[in-house]
Structure 1
Amino acid sequence: MKHLQIFLAFFRVGMLGYGGGPSSIPLVHKEVVDKYKWMNDDEFADVLALGNTLPGPIATKMAGYIGYRVAGVLGLINATLSTIIPTIILMIVLLSTITSIKEYPWVQGMTAAVVPVVGVMLATLTWDFYKKSRQSLGWIKALAFICCSFLLMEIFGLHPAILIGVLLLVAVLKNDKDRHSERGDAS
């Protein structure tokens, strides 16, 4: 049953994730966190952050990790294949027909209409992440992180993977320092 759920969850993501990996992220969240409850929001945010630091398509990386976490190696294979199979099928079908109808205005309008929908989906996910960070950090620290991240990535051109890596390193070192200070207090 678990393998069928994995297949259906990531097949839906593959079928409905029009526009590539970023548009699939809210769909993966809906399946993994809201529907099947395989992980919570914080764990999903960690998987998303880790997936963004690695090369390759985000949807398949997340599917592979989540599938492995839920059902081991077979879950990894199942989730990855169910994510890419719809794309393969749709590419074959669409490429064979799209060239004959791409000049029609309704096709161009349909393609243009999808972009704002994906933008809203990403904005909703961003707002959810902001609310979570506001709860754990407080609104001042959360806004400071957002502003600093924006400046570093958009103004100074820092790659997101470097920023995420530095923040993970700081968190690990801070956690390690806190652990050492607790041992010192205990003695």
Structure 2
Amino acid sequence: MKTQWNLFIAFFRVGMLGFGGGPASIPLIHKEVVDKYKWMRDDDFGDLLALANTLPGPIATKMAGYIGYRVTGIGGMIYAVLATIVPTIILMIILLTTISSIKEFDWVQGMTAAVVPVVGMMLAVLTWQFINKARKGLGWGRALVFAVVIFILLEVAGIHPAIIIAFLLALALLVRDEPGHNARKKEGDR
């Protein structure tokens, strides 16, 4: 029961402090799950985040559901998901009833503007962690080539991210099933 309570508290904190949506919540989830409670290793978290990004829907609730299920089963999944969405529901009800009357105040506009760089820095740290993980798995050369190619596909060619993600998932499955892939990987680990 203590673990389920910890799950609820961890994801309630994420729900309360994750201002800026799902991407802003990811570093908070990482802090709770990997650093504080040690329910996952850093590599497992990165894999979960990559998988969660390929599925439709809000990322924070997908991650909460999986992590809760992994830690204590169905009950943990329910606690984690509820803890993630309840703060948002409460805050939306409170804020939507008062926001129209106070949105013109300078302190409200200043508070909103001050959150932007904080969220930006949290996303920059997360980006660096992904770059570092890609470097470890692929090496600098391949990681940079992947980054440049994906940037060109997204920004220059205008290809939808879902198409790129689906293609990369299929490519990963093909490469993983390629004969000798595991042997090469084991040799590279030595």
Do both share a fold (TM > 0.5)?
A: yes
AA in 1 matched with 2:154: M
1:55 positional shift: 1.7
1:42-99 deviations in Å (ceiling 9; x for gaps): 2222222222222211111111111111111111111100000011111112122222
AA in 2 matched with 1:52: N
**What is aligned with 2:186?**
none
Q: In 1, Cα distance between the equivalents of 2:50 and 2:18? A: 19
| Residues 36, 180 of structure 1: alpha-carbon distance in 2 compared, 3 angstrom cutoff | closer
What is the TM-score normalised by the length of structure 2? 0.89
1:181 positional shift: 9.0
Between the two proteins, what is the percent identity of the paired residues? 66
Q: In 1, Cα distance between the equivalents of 2:45 and 2:160? A: 21
Q: In 2, Cα distance between the equivalents of 1:31 and 1:147? A: 32
**What is aligned with 1:185?**
none
**Alignment check: 8 A CA contact 1:26 1:125 kept:** yes
**What is aligned with 2:34?**
33
**What is aligned with 1:119?**
120
Aligned residues: 182
Q: In 2, Cα distance between the equivalents of 1:63 and 1:180? A: 32
**Alignment check: 8 A CA contact 1:60 1:80 kept:** yes
Structure 2 regions of 5+ residues with no counterpart?
Answer: 184-190
1:114-146 deviations in Å (ceiling 9; x for gaps): 111111100110001111111221111111111
Structure 1 regions of 5+ residues with no counterpart?
Answer: 183-187
1:163 positional shift: 2.1
Q: Which moved more, 1:49-58 or 1:111-120?
A: 49-58
**Alignment check: 8 A CA contact 1:52 1:161 kept:** no
The 3-state SS of whatever aligns with 1:38 is: coil
RMSD of Structure 2 on Structure 1 (CA) = 1.7
Q: In 2, Cα distance between the equivalents of 1:48 and 1:180? A: 24
**Alignment check: 8 A CA contact 1:67 1:76 kept:** yes
What is the TM-score normalised by the length of structure 1? 0.90
